[in-house]
Every structure is written in structure tokens, then in C-alpha cells.
Amino acid sequence: MLSVAVRFSIAFGLCCGVLAGALAGGCAVTSIDLTRLGSADSQTPARYDDRAFATVVRENVKDGLVDYRHLAAHRDSLDGYAALIAAVGPTSTPGLFPTRDDRTSYYINTYNAGILLAVLHAGVPETIHTLRVGSVDHRFRLAVDGSQLPIGELRKMAIASSGDDMRVVLALCDGAVGSPSLHDQPIRGRGLDETLRLLARRAMDNHRIVSVDHEQQRLLLSVDLIRQRDAFIAYHRKQTGAGQATMLNVALHFASGVRRQWLSTAVGYTEGLIPFDRRLNRWPPQRD
């Protein structure tokens, strides 16, 4: 169970975000279109090809961090991918995405690409707090699958299309050091389960996602895990058939062998919140 202090901390943080947006620009959130004018091809492509996004992550992702300086100077592949996803998708071209895994992979990639575009639009700031004024998920829109969608909708669609496979959350990178790392390959339908298993293991190895405080006897969790605690536990119960479960059970289920042994030392501990590291996930890494 979450302590009163943790629940208050999350609620306070959300309220502060709303207040910051109001102070910065009034109650209304200014919507920003990330798709460059004239970038989308008027003719619908005959196939979905993620090679442009593969180039983006292969050339710019290093140890889960992003070389935004290089990306800003070589953004043609990212703009090309943005043009592609504007024209194709599970709704407008369903034949190109015949399986659930194909659709889920599409939404994960489009979300991650949208965040990269938002960071470039903001001039590569020191912290994603700059992007979160008014909430990046609602402030920035992207042309996707024939529609203009807030980035946050892509996050929801990725989870929903997967059948609420909560490992998807750990494949979505919102541009912060404290969020799951960006994968250095595009997510693909073929082999999706294996990829999500890998990314879940990596997340459990990340001390900004899961940690243990033996002195205070607390299992420390990122804000994303705590906010969606019930959904993660429901997913764990569905996968394992367990009648009862905690977030420690979820972490143990996702973790690799060595990390699982370490996390098992937190049996009986209360859950606590890891302070969110909002610094931009920029390469080279910023000092702690």
C-alpha cells in the first residue's frame, strides 16, 4: 500500500504542474503542431517502413540517452518518419498492420518519435520541465494515421492496442532521465514480446525506476509505476494467475536473475516514491 506521504507527493506534483501551466500561459493550453508544413507526402505510401526511424535511433541513441545535437543537425530521417506516420497507420491503412503486435509497435514508435520532435521544437532544453508546462502529452500534437493527435493519445493507444500489456509503459520514453530509456532500435511487431521482456528487464535495472532503501525499509518506485500501480498489478495477476500481488511481485516478475535476487531483499518493505529526475535524457550525460 502507498503511504499517505507518497499519495500526497504525487497529487501535489500533479497540481503544481497544472498551476505552472496556468501561470505560464493562462488556463488554456497552447497546442503546438510538431509536423513540419509540407513535410507529409500527399500520396499514401504502399507500405509501412520504419527504416527512417531505425536510422534515427541507431545514429543518436547511446546507452539510452539521445545525442540531440547530432539529431538536430541531421533530422531528415526523423522528419521523413513523421511524414510516413502522418499518412499510414492502423486506422487509415489497416492492411499494413494486420496483427495486434504490429499496431502496438506502431504506436510505441510514433510516441517516441513525437517526443524527439517536441524536444527539438523546444530547442533541446536542459530539462523536460520546459516541455511539461501545460503537459507535453497535451501541448504537442502530431499528424498520425490521418489525424492530428496529442502525443499523450499515442501513449494511451499503445497500451490499449497491446491489450493492457503494461510492459509497454517501459518502452515509452518521455525525454527525461527519470523515464524508461529510449531503445536503440525501432519496436517491431515480429518479436515484440521478446523486446518488451528485454525493456522491462532494463527498467528494473534502472535505479531511477526501481530501487531499495534498506535503511528506511522501502521499495522505491518511479512515478509512472506508482501512478499506474493497479494496472501493473492487474497485468501481473493476469500473467501469473496470482490471487494477490504487490509492486514487488511485479518488479520480481520483470527483473533478470541477479536483479531479482537483490529486489527480493525488499520483501515486507513499504512502497515509496523515487523523486522524478526531469533532466533531459541528453548525450553526453549530465552530471548527477
At 8 the pLDDT is: 32
DSSP letter at 133 equals T
* Domain map (residue ranges) of the chain: 28-202, 206-273
**What pTM value is reported for the model?**
0.87
List the one residue out of 123, 62, 120 whose CA is nearest residue 284.
62
At 262 the pLDDT is: 96
At 223 the pLDDT is: 94
Distance of CA 103 to the CA centre of its chain: 16
**Structure-block grid coordinates of residue 210:** 526501481
List the one residue out of 254, 276, 247, 284 whose CA is nearest residue 1.
247
Q: pLDDT tens string for the chain (288 positions)?
A: 454 344 434 343 433 333 233 323 333 445 678 875 334 445 677 789 999 999 999 999 999 999 999 999 999 999 999 999 999 999 999 999 999 999 999 999 999 999 999 999 989 998 887 765 446 777 889 999 999 999 999 999 999 999 999 999 999 999 999 999 999 999 999 999 999 999 999 999 999 999 999 999 999 999 999 999 999 999 999 999 999 999 999 999 999 999 999 999 999 999 999 999 999 999 998 776
Residue type, 35: T
At 142 the pLDDT is: 94
Cβ–Cβ under 8 Å, residues 158 and 199: no
